[in-house]
């Protein structure tokens, strides 16, 4: 699932480079979170690179530990799901910590889930958002 992991990591890296576009289902809270996120200093290429390596390693280890059955690709899909509520899942938080990224709750979009399955990576970005296939694109 190397290509799927790469697509997932690229998506999160793009988020760190741009606007997280917070949506928690409450207009004023979402506006406030987006305004706060815009005040953050952009991350250095070094931090982005370290995050990319750390997240790739973290997702790979998670999938290896939890396993998947090539004969039944959707088995364990919920185990390959991670994202953010108001704070990032441990796999994102650990990668951000290794890269010494500050304000991680503001840098990742609120209420976002990602599923990494054989042949497909899907993201639901924001409160009640529909899932979008990001791999294959």
Q: Name the one residue in this structure whose structure tokens are 């296939």.
A: 133
Which residues constitute the domain of residue 64? 2-135
For residues 81-101, give the mean pLDDT: 96
* Model pLDDT, residue 19: 85
Comparing CA positions, the residue from 47, 62, 59, 63 lying closest to residue 13 is 47
Count the domains in the chain: 1
pLDDT confidence band for 60 (50 / 70 / 90): very high
Q: Which residue stretches of the chain are H helix?
A: 2-17, 27-38, 45-66, 90-98, 104-107
Rg (CA), the chain: 15
User: CA–CA separation, 70 vs 95, rounded Å?
Assistant: 27
What is the structure's pLDDT at 69? 67
pTM recorded for the entire structure: 0.91
- pLDDT at position 79: 76
CA distance 43 to 64: 30
* Residue 85 belongs to domain with CATH number: 3.90.640.90
pLDDT, position 46: 98
Q: Looking at the predicted structure, is the pLDDT value of residue 5 above 90? A: yes
Query: Does the structure show a pLDDT above 80 at 27?
Result: yes
For the segment 101-128, what is each residue's pLDDT rounded down to a tens digit? 999 999 999 999 999 988 899 999 999 9
DSSP 125: E
Q: Any idea which residue has 């998670």 for tokens?
A: 62
């Amino acid at each position: 699932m190397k290509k799927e992991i790469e697509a997932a990591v690229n998506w999160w890296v793009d988020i760190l480079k741009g606007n997280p576009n917070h949506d928690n289902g409450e207009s004023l809270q979402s506006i406030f979170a987006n305004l706060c996120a815009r005040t953050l200093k952009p991350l250095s290429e070094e931090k982005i690179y370290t995050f990319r390596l750390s997240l790739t390693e973290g997702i790979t280890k998670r999938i290896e530990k939890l396993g998947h059955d090539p004969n039944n690709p959707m088995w364990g899909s919920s185990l390959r799901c991670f994202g953010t509520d108001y704070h990032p899942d441990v796999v994102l938080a650990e990668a951000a910590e290794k890269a010494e990224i500050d304000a991680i709750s503001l840098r990742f979009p609120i209420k976002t889930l990602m599923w990494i399955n054989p042949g497909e990576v899907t993201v639901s970005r924001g409160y009640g958002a529909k899932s979008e296939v990001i791999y294959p694109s």
